[in-house]
Amino acid sequence: MTYGRLVMALIGGDAHETTASADVVLADGSLAVLRLLRPEDGPALHDLHEGVSDESIRLRFFGPSRHGAHTYVDHVLNDPSTLSLVAETRGRLIGLATAEPVDASTSEVAFLVADDARGLGVGTLLIEHLAEASLLRGVTHFEADVLAENQRMLRVFNDAGFQMSRRPDGATVVVALTTGVSAETLALADAREFSAESRSLGPLLRPTSVVVVGVRSDGTGIGATVLRSIVANGFQGRVAAVHPRASQLCGVKAYRSVLDVPEPVDLVVLCVPAKAAPGVLDDAAAAGAQAVIVVSSGFSELGEEGRALQRSLAVATRGHGIRMVGPNCLGLLCNAPDVRLNATFNEAVPPAGGLAVASQSGGVGIVLMDLARELGLGVHTFVSLGNKADVSSNDLLAAWFDDPRITAAALYLESFGNAAKFARFARRFAMRKPLLAVVGGRSAGGSRAGASHTAAAATPAVGVDALFAQAGVIACTDAEDLARTALLLAEQPLPAGRRLAVVSNAGGIGVLAADAAAEAGLEIPEFSPALQARLAGLVNGTTGTSNPVDAGADVPPTEFAAMVDAVLASGEADAVLVIPVATGVTDGRGTLAELIRVRADHPDLPVVAVPLGGLPVIPSDPPLTTYRSSASAVRALGRAARYAEWRAVPRGPVAVTGPHELVARRQVTRELVGETGGGWLLPDQASRVLEPYGLAPVGRTVRTADDAAAAATEFGFPVAVKVADPEIVHKTDRGLVRVGLGNAEDVRHACADFDRELGRAALVLVQPVLAGVEVALGLVRDAALGPLVMVAAGGIATDVWDDRVFLVPPLADEDAARALRSLRVWPLLDGYRGAPPTDTTTLEAMVLALGRLAVDLPEVAELDVNPVLVGPGGCSVVDVKLRVGPPIGPAVSARQLRPV
């Protein structure tokens, strides 16, 4: 389970949903579960209070009485108004946090942590989750009375990063804090989580001892293959096997059970039949193992029985505090020289290097490893995730973040278990190291049909593209594309811009490369006259010296290299693509050697080569990265350039709504869901939701022609009138919109026409006539990715131009700015052909407000704000459609709003 399950139970209104839970990693890397208190927890909760020291009881209850402590436990168990969370590890309660209502917006909080669990961050995790759960119930403030000498508890409050005040009161300190998030709260929580994940996965990613279970004595089968791979790759730690009869397998000592292995065990690899896995897991836990890889298949991929078995296995691993990869996976490879573990049934190992790879598909993982070996791409770690019952790509990104030997990461994914968490972790990782990804299952066949423009456009591929663009993930099309892009990022510095120079000794090849570069989003600038003269002088003026450069078929190696050197030194290119073609009149090998020599003089610029005509690849340092086609080279360079641009943009904090406002706004939407039973809101209802975010439409909704005429007279003519029925999508097509009406009688006639078209009395929206560039904003919720915000050209252009960008909340300033500037309609907003620029500052603020709404109000299922008229003096919303309903998809809780 994830944190989202706990949040969604509380968003849904059930503050005592006892099955809601959150898996967390403590500071020492051990696992714990945070969950709501259950009635059956009574004995364990009494044991917790009985097991702590007298000093702990005194500090918590301001006196030495254990009777008072047990009385409090009985009170908590029987008081439905108190929100109580417990921390559990290995079946034992190690912490309790309670929030007892003082009034509608304030709760008194208290904590108790087992003595042997102190220093593990249990109290901090409890307060984080308790604050979020309380905020969902309308509680905006916490209070706590703490003995002044209880510095440990005061540090817990302080270190959590919440806005806090302290007031001395005799021997106690009265602590007050808000339950809303802040940038400090979120940054501290992220840092703690990344550090804890790294410790938790250490026995998996850096084991010193491995035991393989399920090895056949005749050497056949997956278990024997895994064991041979471990031995052949020269694992630097201890290795053993388990077999009921054999004493030795593949030259390795074998034991009857994991429990019989005399040395401490870090990692156990299970290759046994699925039904035998739980028993082996229990033995592994009893032997002290901290990690398992379940290579075995026969779990969720085979139907309900397999899913049930996988669920029980996952519950058992959490109960034992063990991290698990799989089941149904290829295994794990760690290429670090001090580890050298190949616990997979793929014996081909790529060279050691800095790339970390995780693949949800074992087959794709094999392809990636083969490509890495073929390209000479150095791999540090490969993890086959399989069914992802425990360890996920999110966990691995956190573990790889601070590892100095890992320079980049690559992922193949088919699902996002927690998309909001992935977006947060991926962005944090990509700010430090390149992150590449391929996602399967993105076909348009998964797109939804919707009644709004936003929903109709939000296909699965659109959502994934939006997530990657914001998080700085380098999206690749397939395994080969990923490997070739990773090679460039591993061997070359990031380009400072998109300017690409192409130098070849075959003119046509250079032209084709320039065309491919333009398609990849790179610029092919024309060189300055000075540089062109310099190049012409190097070859006696007989060549094409613009860009691409044609050095001539018979150019000698030294002159070809001199031309490349001149381009590299010119400052007129951010990257250089060299295409030497072997001919009967040139020394191809000599050309490559000379290119390597001059490349070494410019280590800060990326240089790639496409040697053609049978020229060999020559290793060098710094490397001259080589490809077999110009298309592969420029695609990789284009992706590297876009990633460099993303990383260069300063990252601001995400926009967060204050706790008081958040509680009030959630109450409004919940009331509307109750009133309507879920569905499209009437204009006045929609305005109640949108007004606090500055997204409500201008004008007045009326029910009679006379009221429409009166409103129009008040606004001043000309006016626009339209039918305010949220279930009608294309009003203009049916004549249900009239613009430029100049008098009250025209307004009455329009209302009569609306009534005839609908066959009933129409609800009408009257608005002053406004002018400006039309922009559309929208929101829809994806069942897998959560909320998606659309920014697009507005009006009828929304459908005709297909000019739109999707964003994944939470949003920061740079997200809104990037989205608007990527639209084809942007020049009209920025002041096209001498027109005054429009108020894009206000428009960006509206995009950010929509992002806050998406996070704040999970009951808002679908929203179109179209058009927004953007002029030099401001922005006006003309029309909205808003649908509410019970929350769907993953929760984007306050705790997930992490600035990086």
- Token pair listed for 58: 């005194």
d(CA 49, CA 647): 50
Closest alpha carbon to 812 in 897, 695, 870: 897
d(CA 819, CA 20): 36
Q: Which of 73-87, 589-603, 718-732 has the lowest mean pLDDT?
A: 718-732
H/E stretch holding 27: none
Closest alpha carbon to 194 in 482, 34, 431: 431
Is 237 exposed, middle or buried, given 0-12, 13-18 or 19+ CB atoms closer than 10 A? middle
Predicted local confidence at residue 487, as pLDDT: 96
pLDDT (mean) for 554-576: 96
Between the alpha carbon of residue 289 and those of residues 70, 134, 250, 263, 273, the distances in Å are 36, 37, 22, 11, 20
Given a cut of 50, whether residue 8 has pLDDT beyond it is no
Q: Which of 118-122, 472-476, 729-733 has the lowest mean pLDDT?
A: 729-733
Q: Which of 131-135, 475-479, 729-733 has the lowest mean pLDDT?
A: 729-733
**Which pLDDT band holds residue 890 (cuts at 50, 70, 90)?**
confident
Residue 28 CB neighbours (<10 A) = 12
Cα first-last separation, the chain: 25
Given a cut of 60, whether residue 767 has pLDDT beyond it is yes
Predicted local confidence at residue 43, as pLDDT: 97
- Token pair listed for 634: 């420029």
d(CA 777, CA 793): 9
d(CA 804, CA 822): 9
Predicted local confidence at residue 654, as pLDDT: 79
Predicted local confidence at residue 225, as pLDDT: 96
Q: Of all residues in the chain, what percent carry a pLDDT higher than 70?
A: 93
Predicted local confidence at residue 893, as pLDDT: 55
- Whether residue 740 contacts residue 716, with contact meaning beta carbons closer than 8 Å, is answered with no
Query: What would the DSSP string read from start to end of 173-210?
Result: EEEEEESS--HHHHHHHHHHHHHHHHHHTHHHHS-SEE
- The 10s digit of each residue's pLDDT in 671-704 is 999 888 889 998 889 999 999 999 999 999 999 9
Mean confidence (pLDDT) of the chain: 90
- Whether residue 436 contacts residue 462, with contact meaning beta carbons closer than 8 Å, is answered with no
Predicted local confidence at residue 462, as pLDDT: 86
- The 10s digit of each residue's pLDDT in 87-134 is 999 889 999 999 999 999 999 999 999 999 999 999 999 999 999 899
- The 10s digit of each residue's pLDDT in 527-539 is 999 999 999 998 8
Predicted local confidence at residue 443, as pLDDT: 55
d(CA 684, CA 679): 14
Given a cut of 80, whether residue 615 has pLDDT beyond it is no
pLDDT (mean) for 347-368: 94
pLDDT (mean) for 730-749: 91
- Whether residue 343 contacts residue 210, with contact meaning beta carbons closer than 8 Å, is answered with yes
- The 10s digit of each residue's pLDDT in 261-278 is 999 999 999 999 999 999
- Whether residue 269 contacts residue 213, with contact meaning beta carbons closer than 8 Å, is answered with yes
Between the alpha carbon of residue 53 and those of residues 50, 75, 112, 311, 334, the distances in Å are 8, 21, 11, 37, 44
- Whether residue 510 contacts residue 579, with contact meaning beta carbons closer than 8 Å, is answered with yes
Closest alpha carbon to 124 in 86, 159, 100: 159
Predicted local confidence at residue 442, as pLDDT: 59
Residue bearing tokens 């399920």: 214
- Token pair listed for 318: 């959490």
**455 contact partners, CB below 8 Å, separation of at least 6:** 448, 449, 778, 780, 862
Predicted local confidence at residue 415, as pLDDT: 84
Predicted local confidence at residue 180, as pLDDT: 83
DSSP state of 469: H
pLDDT (mean) for 842-867: 95
Backbone angles phi, psi at 575, to 5 degrees: -160, 155
- Whether residue 853 contacts residue 688, with contact meaning beta carbons closer than 8 Å, is answered with no
- Whether residue 466 contacts residue 788, with contact meaning beta carbons closer than 8 Å, is answered with yes
Amino acid at 626: T
Q: Which of 85-99, 417-431, 813-827, 857-871 has the lowest mean pLDDT?
A: 417-431
d(CA 350, CA 371): 8
- Token pair listed for 711: 């409103």
Predicted local confidence at residue 16, as pLDDT: 38
- The 10s digit of each residue's pLDDT in 832-841 is 888 899 999 9
- Token pair listed for 73: 């436990």
**707 contact partners, CB below 8 Å, separation of at least 6:** none
Given a cut of 70, whether residue 827 has pLDDT beyond it is yes
54-61 vs 66-78: helix crossing angle, rounded to 10: 60
Given a cut of 50, whether residue 896 has pLDDT beyond it is no
pLDDT (mean) for 343-348: 89
pLDDT (mean) for 762-785: 92
d(CA 315, CA 133): 24
Predicted local confidence at residue 348, as pLDDT: 82
d(CA 300, CA 313): 11
Give the CA dihedral 260, 263, 266, 271, nearest 10 degrees: -40
Predicted local confidence at residue 3, as pLDDT: 38
Residue 12 CB neighbours (<10 A) = 16
d(CA 830, CA 821): 9
H/E stretch holding 436: strand 435-439
DSSP state of 260: G
**Which pLDDT band holds residue 181 (cuts at 50, 70, 90)?**
confident
Largest CA distance in the chain: 100
**Which pLDDT band holds residue 221 (cuts at 50, 70, 90)?**
very high
Is 866 exposed, middle or buried, given 0-12, 13-18 or 19+ CB atoms closer than 10 A? buried
Predicted local confidence at residue 379, as pLDDT: 97
**Which pLDDT band holds residue 770 (cuts at 50, 70, 90)?**
confident
**Which pLDDT band holds residue 789 (cuts at 50, 70, 90)?**
very high
DSSP state of 890: -
